[in-house]
Chains A and B, each alone.
Chain A
C-alpha cells in the first residue's frame, strides 16, 4: 500500500483521511481471500488511444466490468484460466485467454471496424451493454456514426447530436443551449477533459466549441447520475478528447463553407508519449445581412494535449483548450467571449485494484462588450475564473464490488463586470460590480455491487459544502425583494476569505438493475442533485452576458430529486437496442428573474432574483440499430415541465420556456458502398411556449401590448430534415493523403421554423407605419432557410 506524495492543505486533509480510512478497511477485508487480479488498459491498436467504457466480460463467471474514463479495468477473480471478451461499439470483439495464478497486468489492443474496409459480418456474440450495464439514463455518442450524419455548414457538432437524444429539448435552431428532463439550460455541467465550459456555443449556438475531430468520447448523463458528479441539477455532458496517436504522425484537416480546421497528432516517444494539437477557425459571416462592409464575425478553437504513458503505474496528461467568438459591427459595436481551460492530470495505480486520478483544473470564461459612440460609448468586461483540485479513486474490490470515492475542491471568482467610458465625451461613469467568491467542496463515496446474477446495485452519497466568501459587501434591504425601489438599510463588509454563508447538502444516489432474462432488464434510479452556481437566464437563449452567480445570502442552492425507471431490451443478437424510460423530477428553488427585471449593471441585482419550484415528468423511447449497412436510431419523448415562482406570473404556475410536449428524432446512416455513405436526420418538436399579448392599449403615442400570462401561447411546431452524402474517392496511391467530400443540405424542404415572435405597430417593408398607427401585427422570426454546404476533408 502506498501513499500519495503530496501533503494536502486543510480542507483536503479531512477528506483524504476519510478515503484513506475506507481504503485501509477494505483492503484488510479483501486480504483474507484467495484471489488474484487481472488489470490493464484497453487501447485502439492503430493509434494507442485508450477506450472508455469497453465491456470486459467473463462468460465463465457471467460477470465483468467496464473500462473507466481512462481506459483502465481491473478484475479480481479466483485463480484459474479464463476466457475474457472485450467489446466496444465500432470495434471487433477481442477475446483473450488468461491463466491467472498471480496478479497479471495485461493491456489489450482492439481493432476498429472502420479501419477494416470490407463489409462487416456479425459473427461474434456481442455483450449487451444496453441491458446489462447498471447505468441508465445515459447516452454515449457514437462518434463514428455522428461523422456520417448531416451537419450544418459541414461542421460536425456534438451538441447538435446531444440535442437529438431522447429527453433532451432544444430552445430552437441556432442555439447550443439544451434542456434535459425539465432542467433549464444552466443546469447542465459541460466538461471537456474534466474542465467546465460555461458557454459551449459559437456564434450564439450555430456551432459548439467542440471540434469533432478531436473528440474521443461524449457521454450525457440525464439521470441516475453517479456520485462522482455534482454541481448541476439536470445533466452532465462529459467530453473527452483524444490523447494523440502514439504510433505515427498524422494530419487531418477540413475546408468547409463556414470554417476550416486542422489537426496534427503523433508520438513524442513511440508507444509512450504523444501529443495532439488542433485548431479551427471560421471566416465567413454568411448569415449576417448587414450591408456594412466593416463587419467582422469569427470564432476559433484551439485544443492541445500532451501525455506520457510510459507504464501502467503512472501516467501524466496535460490538456488545453482556448476558444473565442468575436463580433464587430462597423466601428460602432463589438463583443467577444471565450472559454479557456487547462487540465493537468496524473493517473496512478496504487496497486492492481486501486486506481487514482488526480487533476488540477483551471477554467476561465470571459466576455466583453463595447459600444463606440461619442456620447454613449462604454466598454464592459467580465469574467468567471475557477481552480479545482480533484482526486478520484476507484477500488476494484472484486468482481462483485467496485468502490469509487474521492473529493473535489473548487475555488471560483465571479467578476460580473466593470463598465467604463471609452471616450472622453462619454456620459458613462466607471462602475464596478462587486466580485464574488466561492469555495465548493464535494466528497463522495459509492459502491457498485453485484448482488446476484440478476441484480446489481449502485448506491452512494455525496456531500456538498458550498461557501460564499468575501471580500464582498453584502447589502441589507428593508425588503430584499423590492426591485422597484430597493432601499438599503445596511452594508455588511466581509474581508477576504471570510465566510459569508455556507450551504451544506447531502446528495444520496441509488440505482438498481434487474435482469429479466437474456437481453432484457429493468432499471430504476434515484438521485438528488444540488446546484450552487446559477446562471439566471433572462431570455430563452442564454446570452454570454447573462452573469453567473454563486449561492449567497440572497440566492439559495437549487435542489432536484429525480426518480427514473426503465425497461431495456436488445433484439437480433444485440444489434438492435430498445429502451423505454420514465422519469419524474421535482426541483426546488429554481431561479428566475422578476418581471421587468433590470439585469444590466444593477448593483442591487439580488432584489431581482426569484426562486420557486419546478416539476417535470416524461417518457423516453429509443430504438437504436448499431450494426449493418444501415444504422440509426428513432427516439420519441413525451414530457411536461412546469414552474411556479412567487413574483413571476403573479405566482401562478406556468409552462417552462422549454416545455415541448412531443419530440421525435430520427437519425440514419447508410453505407451504400465503399465510396458513398448517406446520412439523414429528421427532428420534430411541439412549438415552445412564448409570452405574447392578448390585448393592447395606447399611452401617449405608444401602443403597448397587455400581457396576461407567462408562456401562455405556443409557437408553431418545429420540424426539419437534413441530408448528407459523403464521397470517399479511391485512395490515390501516388498521393500520401486521402480526401473525402461531404455534401450536405440543411433544412432540405426549406421550412421556416419559428425562432421567436414579436409584435409591433403594423408597418410596410420600408419600415413606415401603415394606416392610423393603431393596428398592430405579430411577426415571426425564423433563422435558416435551405442551406447547402460542401466540405472537403483531408487525412494524411
Chain B
C-alpha cells in the first residue's frame, strides 16, 4: 500500500517517453523455482516445481517432474506429494498430496524437496485468518467514467472483523465468475494490520463487476515471512529501474539452498455475492 504513491509518482511524472530496448545479457544461472501452498481448505494444497530461464526465453518455464516432495507438520505427520497424480495436461510440474491432507491453524509446516539430489527446505506457520463477515456492492463513479473492462464498474465492499491484538498479515484474491482477476497484471493484494484499523469496514475491491457477475473474495493468512515475500515481489514487479526507488532485488524467501519462490501456509476464509443492478 505504501508503494502506491511511488508508482503513481513514477507513472505520472515520467510516463513521458519510453521505447523498447534489447538488453545484451549473459546466460543466467538456472535456479529451482518452488511454489508451495498448504491451507486449511480441501483441494488447496500443492507444490509446483520448475526451473528459471534466461530473460528473453519464450514460453512457460520448464517443469520438474521427477522430484521427491514431502510436507511434515509440527506433530511429525508427514505427507508425500506426488507429481500430477491425475495425469492432467495442465498440471505438469504440480505435486499433490498422496493422501487427503488439510492444514490446521496453529501448526508449523516443513517442506522438503529433493531435485536430483539437491535438497530444498522451508518452514512456515499457519496463522488464523479474519472472517469475511459480509459483502455489499455499489457503483464506482470514477470507474464508470472510464472502465478498464467494458461495462464493469461495480465494486464490492468487504466487511470483516480483524483479529486483535496479534500482528496479522493477509493476502486477498478476487474472483469474477470463479476466475481469478488482477486489475493490473503486476498487482498483488496483500496488507498488514498496521495500516488497517480495528475492523475492515467497507473496503472496496480493486476488481470491478457487472450486474450478473459473481464476486468471490478469498482472504489468506500470511506469516511475517510471507508478507515480506509478497512485499518484495511487488517492489520487484513494479520497479522503475532504480531511479526513484531502490534498484530491483530478489524477493526474500523461506526456501533454502538458493531456490526462488515461497512455501506458504495459510488459513482461508471466503465469501461470495452476485452483483445485481
Contact = CB atoms under 8 A, between A and B. Distances in A.
Contact of B247 (A691, A700, A755): A691
A369 B225 contact: no
A782 B243 CA distance: 12
B243 A701 contact: no
Contact of A375 (B5, B61, B204): B204
Given A596-B246, A758-B241, A696 B16 contact: no
Interface in A749-784: 752, 754-761, 769, 772-783
A595 B246 CA distance: 8
B27 to A, nearest CB: 8
B17 A781 contact: yes
A333 interface: yes
B5 A694 contact: no
Contact of B60 (A333, A693, A772): A772
Interface in B218-247: 224-225, 228, 231-233, 235-237, 239-247
A34 interface: no
Contacts of A773: 185
A693 B55 contact: yes
Given A540-B243, A782-B18, A485 B225 contact: yes
A491 interface: no
Interface in A208-224: none
A325 to B, nearest CB: 12
Interface stretch (A234-242, A266-274, A421-429): A421-429
A287 interface: yes
A776 B55 contact: yes
B33 interface: yes
Contact of A707 (B9, B61, B245, B248): B248
Could you say which of B9, B31, B53, B241 has the most chain A C-beta atoms within 10 Å of its C-beta?
B241
A24 interface: no
Interface string A682-711: 000000001111111111111111111011
A376 B189 CA distance: 14
Interface stretch (B106-114, B195-203, B208-216): B195-203
Interface stretch (A124-132, A155-163, A391-399, A597-605): A597-605
Interface string A417-453: 0000000010111010000000000000000000000
Given A695-B52, A705-B55, A596 B244 contact: no
A492 interface: no
Contacts of A657: 242
Contacts of A707: 236, 247-250
Contacts of B15: 289-290
A306 interface: no
A465 interface: no
A260 B21 CA distance: 38
A651 to B, nearest CB: 14
B59 interface: yes
Nearest to A688: B242
A619 interface: no
B54 A695 contact: yes
Contacts of A538: 244-246
Interface string A589-629: 00001011111110000000000000000000000000000
B17 A595 contact: no
Given A429-B195, A690-B242, A756-B240, A596 B28 contact: no
Nearest to A779: B18
A783 B16 contact: yes
Determine which residue in B23, B180, B240, B261 has the highest number of CB atoms from chain A within 10 A of its CB, and name it.
B23
B86 interface: no
Contacts, number: 226
Contacts of B202: 425
Nearest to A421: B197
A333 B8 contact: yes
Nearest to A541: B243
B53 A769 contact: no
A288 B55 CA distance: 32
Given A333-B8, A694-B25, A288 B243 contact: no
B35 interface: yes
A709 to B, nearest CB: 10
Main secondary structure of the interface of B (DSSP, over half): loop
Interface in B242-262: 242-252, 260-262
B138 to A, nearest CB: 12
Given A333-B8, A696-B53, A698-B50, A597 B246 contact: yes
Nearest to B34: A699
A333 B55 CA distance: 35
Interface in B38-60: 50, 52-60
B26 interface: yes
Contact of B180 (A427, A484, A701): A701
Contacts of A335: 9
Q: Indicate the size class of the contact surface on chain B.
A: 35 or more
Contacts of A70: none
A690 B233 CA distance: 19
Nearest to B188: A702
Interface in A342-384: 369, 371, 375-376
A376 B60 CA distance: 36
A708 B29 contact: yes
A695 B28 contact: yes
B12 interface: yes
A484 to B, nearest CB: 5
B224 A697 contact: no
A539 interface: yes
B102 interface: no
B89 interface: no
B275 interface: no
Given A485-B225, A539-B247, A596-B252, A697 B197 contact: no
A282 to B, nearest CB: 15
A718 interface: no
B203 to A, nearest CB: 6
Contacts of A716: 21
Given A484-B224, A708-B29, A782-B17, A699 B35 contact: yes
A82 interface: no
A781 B228 CA distance: 29
A513 B173 CA distance: 70
B120 to A, nearest CB: 14
Nearest to A691: B247
A698 B203 contact: no
Contacts of A204: 13
Interface string B182-196: 100110100000111
Nearest to B148: A767
A57 to B, nearest CB: 49
Interface in B129-184: 180, 182
A695 B4 contact: no
Contacts of A760: 186
A290 B32 CA distance: 42
Contacts of B54: 694-696
B176 to A, nearest CB: 14
A427 B203 contact: yes
A538 B245 CA distance: 5
A427 B248 contact: no
A708 B8 CA distance: 27
Contacts of B20: 777-780
Given A427-B195, A702-B185, A710-B247, 7 more contacts: A539-B245, A596-B228, A693-B55, A707-B248, A780-B19, A781-B240, A783-B14
| Leading 9 A-B pairs by shortest Cβ distance | A695-B28, A756-B241, A595-B249, A691-B247, A694-B28, A780-B21, A697-B52, A600-B2, A756-B243
18 contacts: A427-B196, A429-B197, A484-B224, A601-B2, A690-B241, A691-B249, A695-B29, A695-B55, A698-B50, A699-B35, A704-B236, A707-B247, A756-B241, A778-B21, A780-B19, A782-B16, A782-B18, A783-B16
Interface of A: 204, 287-290, 327, 329, 333, 335, 369, 371, 375-376, 425, 427-429, 431, 484-485, 538-541, 543, 593, 595-601, 657, 690-708, 710-711, 713, 716, 752, 754-761, 769, 772-783, 785
